[in-house]
Structure 1
Amino acid sequence: MHRATQTLQQEADRHRTLAIERDKLLQEIRRLPGFERFLLPKDFSQLRASAHSGPIVILNAAERRCDALIVLADVDHVIHVPLPHFTLKRAADHQILLKTFLRQAHAIRSDERYGEIITWDRGSWETFLAPLWNGIVKPVLDALAFSVRDLTLPRFTAHSLIEVSKQSPGDMSRIFWCPTGPFVFLPIHAAGFYDSQYSLPGHKVFDFAVSSYVPTLSILARSPTLHAVPNDDLRLLAVRQPPSDGLGQLPGVTPEIAYIKDVIRDSPSAHTTILESSLGTVEEVLGLMKEANWVHFACHGIQDGVDSGLCLADKRRLTLRDMLSLSRPHGGLAFLSACQTATGDEDLTDEAVHIAAAMLFAGYGGVVGTMWSISDRIAPVVARDAGSSGGSTRVA
């Protein structure tokens, strides 16, 4: 008994000695230039620096209430915006309703293949998107001092007051939505009134700003290794659906890659290298991704928790783990023309478990992703229009 007590005491003393040694090492490290906050949580001044390109709006849903927390680069506190007209139950109900709409959309696409003309129930979508505007977006815009009557930009930005009707996408303000819980699955970027009586600007979120999504604040932190890609050195990796992925053929892939090549051909860039994946194996694609500063996937995507991925040759996936293991320079664009690349996991709603987030963590400065399945007929058109507009539709 005495020996056991002595052994426990020795073990406790050893842990205490190691803890003291660790603290001393950390103090030494933090005295080094640039390591002052090594292994310390970021303070708010560091977090707010992530809002350098526009407001970051964190959406939180709890049993008792829903709230928006706004972070601005030049405001030294978080702006708290209560969302009294939107509840956790309402968010969950909207998520269920969205699933119903998407199932209907899938059925419509199946019927269209057989030549049947199916019309959308626009009224249902308007009923779905209007509460997102009233309950979430409008309170946030009001807090940012957007004027629905005057259509002016927020007072917190350095932009001049410009009429929205005269703005181009490059001039408009940016809002970065950071949703949590059931908010992750809601299309906040499409919130608004779509009835014909609301045809004038001022009733939809995209009348005021370009919306993007971020999984965390730190993903927007400026990297000390970030360098702008020179205009004369664009290296594009185009990954088309490989025939051995074991899934249904996507006829839209061929015209989609052709559209991308047309955009590149018309680009003012003096030097463009197109790295096309010939076999589409995981190893080949990973190797080429290290060379490319723009990657475009036109293939099948599957949302399956930590096993989510892009379907490549030999029935294998480019998984989240593969993407996170990439050692590549920061910056560039990942265009994911595949299904469910930004869907998220219902069992891990507070975790960024999807392909688009993995690409951001891998170092890409912008990612285009899909929140649900995308039609093979529409995907090439989106790729063409996004490319011709200079990538201004990027969301992540």
Structure 2
Amino acid sequence: MLRSPLDQLHSSYPDLATQLKSTSTQLHTHSFDTQSIPPVTSESMTPEQVGQQRRRLASEYHSLLAQTRQLPGFESFLQPVKANELICAVRNGPVVVLNCHTGRCDALVIMPGHDQIVHLPLASFTEHKARLARSQLDASLGKKGLRQRGVKSTNQISYEEGFERMLATLWNDIVQPVLCHLGFLSRIYNYAISSYIPNLTALLASTPTQLTHSCRVLAIGQANTPGQSRLPGTTKELAHVKAHMHNKAEYLQLIDSHATTAAVLDAMAQHDWIHLACHASQNVKDPIKSGFHLHDGTLDLSAINRRSFKNKGLAFLSACQTATGDENLPDEAIHLASGMLMTGYCSVIATMWSVDDRDAPFVADKVYAQLMKDGTLGNGEAGRALHHGVARLREKVGEKKFGRWVPYIHIGS
């Protein structure tokens, strides 16, 4: 998680968190390098002194842990969440956990109101098939020019055979067996509204909220970002967002030169929702350096996380590859969308690759229309609104234009 338990402790008890982090770092370092302990004299410490120092640090660490677990809200600090607590987080529909290993692949199905986890072997799927599907996807996206948001030429968005082969593999070997187990058949989007979570803990923290006139919505638009390609569609996109907020919520937009990193960060602290229509980039080597390209630089997750936002609502990331992780770490939720979830937003809409600049305003219009109609957030409403918006886009462009409607995903509650 980008927002670790230690970050949460620091928000409430900064001195204790600093002590715990310092002791933990020293203990970890001394466990691997017996010569790294600063000498108490001009000479190096003896092995006996090293052992005494390590035992002292271990005792101090466990004492600080015990002290932390006496505090309200931190009773289970740095302990795994119990399985029965995670199962209780499943409320609005089945949750399917996929596990792909060299030796086998399986699905774990958790049903609302049930205290048992169902194990479903996926005998037809293999790690090799997963890697092949990823390669087919990358090849298709590369040929179509879908690695950067912007205006696409017609031939770039045309149907690619490799894309359909990849989707067929996922359907035949993973999705269909799961849906058959659940009693569903045919096309998945006729039966399921897909939402993703980095882990079940994300559902535990969700609290449904009513959309009222006091709700504050921030929209960021960058049609002309220095050093980036133009995004003319963002102007229309923000016009749609503004129209839907009229008489429904407080609305502020920062566009082009007004959308500096400092201004946006300060505005985020004052607003409940955020809509980002701009370029973005992932840093797979250092995920907290992933960020959004604004007028004067990149607003990264590290800067957002330092603000310790709490109880935020929707983050709509209408940017480039905001839900794309590291291809070498496919199981790690280290993308921008997951990062926004961990920084305090309960619900995130993002894309797995860059979208057509003409499609983004269309989807945003449909999503916000549905959200304003529902009037609530945090109980699956954002996922349903996105499902509705993507369905309208699919009807408009055609089912075979996978590259245009497939990338949109919802993460969170």
Query: Is TM (by shorter chain) over 0.5?
Result: yes
Structure 1 residues 73-82 or 353-362, which shifts more? 73-82
1:134 to 172, 181, 185: 172
Matches within 5 A, 1:57-206: 57-106=96-145, 120-121=158-159, 125-143=163-181, 146-148=182-184, 202-206=185-189
Helix, strand or coil: the match of 2:364?
helix
Deviation at 1:118, TM superposition (A): 7.6
Helix, strand or coil: the match of 2:195?
strand
Paired AA for residue 309 in structure 1: G
Match of 1:56 in 2: 95
Structure 1 residues 372-381 or 33-42, which shifts more? 33-42
Mark the CA change 1:19 to 1:302 in structure 2 (over 3 Å): closer, same or farther: closer
Match of 1:19 in 2: 58
Mark the CA change 1:13 to 1:378 in structure 2 (over 3 Å): closer, same or farther: same
Helix, strand or coil: the match of 2:133?
helix
Match of 2:324 in 1: 343
Q: Which stretches in structure 2 are left out of the alignment for 5+ residues?
A: 1-42, 372-381, 387-408
Q: Which stretches in structure 1 are left out of the alignment for 5+ residues?
A: 149-201
Structure 2 Cα separation of the partners of residues 206 and 320 of structure 1: 32
Match of 2:198 in 1: 215
| Relative contact order higher in (CA < 8 Å, ≥ 6 apart) | 2
Number of residue pairs matched?
330
Structure 2 Cα separation of the partners of residues 58 and 250 of structure 1: 37
Structure 1 Cα separation of the partners of residues 341 and 202 of structure 2: 7
1:45 to 72, 76, 84: 84
Deviation at 1:119, TM superposition (A): 7.9
Structure 1 residues 346-355 or 329-338, which shifts more? 346-355
8 Å contact from structure 1 (residues 228, 331) kept in 2: no
Paired AA for residue 120 in structure 1: S
1:310 to 292, 299, 313: 292
When normalised by structure 1's length, the TM-score is 0.74
Deviation at 1:220, TM superposition (A): 1.8
Mark the CA change 1:92 to 1:222 in structure 2 (over 3 Å): closer, same or farther: same
Deviation at 1:334, TM superposition (A): 0.5
Helix, strand or coil: the match of 2:103?
coil
Paired AA for residue 215 in structure 1: P
Match of 1:295 in 2: 274
Paired AA for residue 55 in structure 1: P
Match of 1:246 in 2: 227
Structure 2 Cα separation of the partners of residues 122 and 138 of structure 1: 22
Match of 1:373 in 2: 354
Q: Does residue 1:395 correspond to 2:376, yes or no?
A: no
8 Å contact from structure 1 (residues 242, 312) kept in 2: no
1:236 to 193, 199, 217: 217
* CA deviation string 1:266-314 (max 9, x = no partner): x6x2x42324356211111111011111111111122232232211112
8 Å contact from structure 1 (residues 238, 274) kept in 2: yes
Paired AA for residue 203 in structure 1: S
Mark the CA change 1:123 to 1:44 in structure 2 (over 3 Å): closer, same or farther: same
Deviation at 1:128, TM superposition (A): 3.1
8 Å contact from structure 1 (residues 290, 327) kept in 2: no
Structure 1 Cα separation of the partners of residues 309 and 65 of structure 2: 29
Structure 2 Cα separation of the partners of residues 119 and 6 of structure 1: 66
Paired AA for residue 255 in structure 1: K
Deviation at 1:80, TM superposition (A): 1.5
Paired AA for residue 247 in structure 1: Q
* CA deviation string 1:306-344 (max 9, x = no partner): 232211112x21112123223222231011111100011
Q: Give the helix-richer structure, 1 or 2.
A: 2
8 Å contact from structure 2 (residues 110, 116) kept in 1: yes
Match of 2:345 in 1: 364
Provide the aligned C-alpha RMSD in A: 3.0
Deviation at 1:259, TM superposition (A): 1.0
Helix, strand or coil: the match of 1:346?
coil
Helix, strand or coil: the match of 2:144?
helix
Structure 1 Cα separation of the partners of residues 223 and 159 of structure 2: 36
* CA deviation string 1:193-252 (max 9, x = no partner): xxxxxxxxx4121211210111222222226xx572551212111101064432111110
Paired AA for residue 279 in structure 1: H
Q: Does residue 1:283 correspond to 2:262, yes or no?
A: yes
Paired AA for residue 276 in structure 1: L
Match of 2:403 in 1: none
Structure 1 residues 236-245 or 278-287, which shifts more? 236-245
Mark the CA change 1:83 to 1:284 in structure 2 (over 3 Å): closer, same or farther: same
Deviation at 1:123, TM superposition (A): 6.1
Structure 2 Cα separation of the partners of residues 319 and 119 of structure 1: 30
Paired AA for residue 326 in structure 1: R
Match of 1:199 in 2: none
Mark the CA change 1:259 to 1:36 in structure 2 (over 3 Å): closer, same or farther: closer
